[in-house]
Amino acid sequence: MVREQASDIVAEMVANVMEVSVSVGDEVALGDPVLMLESMKMEIPVLAERAGRVKQVRVTAGDVVQAGDILLTLTH
């Protein structure tokens, strides 16, 4: 039996969520853009840190996130 592993993508700083580019069930490759954040008037793309399937999206456009907040979870 293959056991599913999960990994979280977390915010690295306080930011506004501008756009969520993925939905639950989407397949992503390493380096695919999954979110766009805005902090200090700069757009910051958040990229998939590994290939996998989106298990959970914890933010929506307009949310404010803090450093360390989980943005989404991937399974692989």
Question: How many beta carbons lie within 10 A of that of residue 31, not counting itself?
Answer: 10
What's the pLDDT score for residue 24? 98
What's the pLDDT score for residue 3? 73
Structural domains of the chain in order of their starting residue, each with its CATH number: 6-75 (2.40.50.100)
pTM of structure: 0.89
| pLDDT tens readout for residues 25-71 | 999 999 999 999 999 999 999 999 999 999 999 999 999 999 999 99
Question: Of 1, 11, 9, which Cα lies nearest the Cα of 28?
Answer: 9
Question: Of 70, 27, 24, 28, which Cα lies nearest the Cα of 49?
Answer: 28
What's the pLDDT score for residue 39? 95
Distance CA 28, CA 39 (A): 24
DSSP strand E in the chain: where?
6-10, 15-20, 27-28, 33-39, 42-47, 52-57, 64-65, 70-75
